[in-house]
Homo-oligomer: A and B are copies of this chain.
Amino acid sequence: MSSTPRPLPLPAALANDGGRQQAATAIDVARLAGVSQSAVSRTFTKGASVSKTTRAAVMAAAAQLGYRPNLIARSLITGRSNIVGVVMAHFDNQFFPPLLQALSFELGKLGYHLLLFLIPAGADFEPVLDDILRHRVEALIMTSVALSESRAELCRAAGLKVLQLNSRTDSPDIASITGDNAGGAATIAAYLAASQHRRYAMITGMDDNSASRDREAAYTRWLESHGLGAPTRIRGDYSLEGAAAAARTLFSGTTRPDAVFCVNDHTALAVLGVARAEFGLEPGRDVSIIGFDDAPIAAWPEYRLTTYSQPLAALVDATTQALASLLDGTGAPAEQVVVTGQLVVRASARRPATGIIRDGDGREIWVPGS
């Protein structure tokens, strides 16, 4: 712990107001420095003109009073709060906390902080939106919750700029950043076909989720168009309990699938547990289970989950770019960005004879034809 000098005692008027300390204001600083309030304001405004002596007096007074320029007051003048709202649901899904952290770090570098709105599963989003609109956030990142057309209209009317991360709406006006749901699901189907499976299944998420719909459609389309028929599909609900129940139904049927695509890693983790503990099925040998996300936990030795990745760095990079374009208000059309991933090969699904290579990070990935 480094030792820093103790600040000077506060003037009595500031230090003692019935037991509560109020933050020092620009007026306090101006009074103590013996300068005008405008001089204080100019000292703290980038590029504004102020003499050396005035600046020195202001800085000394500010340090003594613990004064910080008030971003809230400033936001009323500049229209900028430096705050971005983030709405997130399914926070128990192991993919989301790392995504939130990556967003926080990268937006932090740009001077933005996150006002967090976590939504309980199945909760109505309307009251939260009301709440968000009452705070002056500069933009809103909707993660894993889709904005309906009527709510998008509300945001537009209130001047709130919105982008979707990890889901999309049908509106071309709202920018979205998603992983490669269609490409990834088709790759998973191709991988399972290359490793000689016979009975394909999928545990989906909820139908109101675009990622689940897109993955289901592409997986089904690939299998059907390659003469393998439509997969058995069963609904999960993004909860571990829902996924486990879906797995029990699948595994106790008369024609047990030998290849199960789980809509995301969170679902797959529960399915792995049910396969092993309740049915004595060893993933990768007796049944192939594949996820989607490549959440950090997918690599842990207890899971070794084969999965299609949604690369965090690239997702967050695309998000900050989309945000910058939203905020500078050039009126460029909203982009629908798709970030491609890789089929990361681990132990939970049977491996095909060819196509597995090692990438620059030392991971095994599947690149058919390589």
Contacts and interface: CB of A to CB of B under 8 A. Distances in A.
A365 interface: no
Contacts of A300: 269, 273
A20 B325 CA distance: 12
A80 to B, nearest CB: 11
Contacts of A277: 301
A75 interface: yes
Nearest to A136: B72
A358 interface: no
Contacts of A53: none
- Copies of the protein in its oligomer: 2
Interface in A284-308: 296, 300-303
Contacts of A131: 113
A3 interface: yes
A214 B18 CA distance: 36
Interface in A120-171: 120, 130-131, 133-136, 148-150, 153-154, 156-160
A276 interface: yes
B118 A115 contact: no
Interface bracket on A: 35 or more
A19 interface: yes
A315 interface: no
A28 to B, nearest CB: 11
B153 A6 contact: yes
A149 B4 CA distance: 9
Contact of A113 (B18, B96, B115): B115
Interface stretch (A31-39, A61-69, A174-182, A189-197): A61-69
A196 to B, nearest CB: 28
B301 A158 contact: no
Nearest to A64: B157
A97 B91 contact: yes
Contacts of A81: 72
A76 B133 CA distance: 17
A154 B133 CA distance: 32
A320 interface: no
A1 B149 contact: yes
A94 to B, nearest CB: 9
B158 A66 contact: yes
Given A92-B296, A105-B120, A24 B72 contact: no
9 contacts: A2-B150, A7-B154, A66-B154, A66-B157, A71-B135, A82-B135, A92-B98, A92-B296, A100-B116
Given A21-B156, A66-B158, A115-B116, 6 more contacts: A3-B150, A7-B154, A19-B331, A21-B159, A68-B133, A113-B135
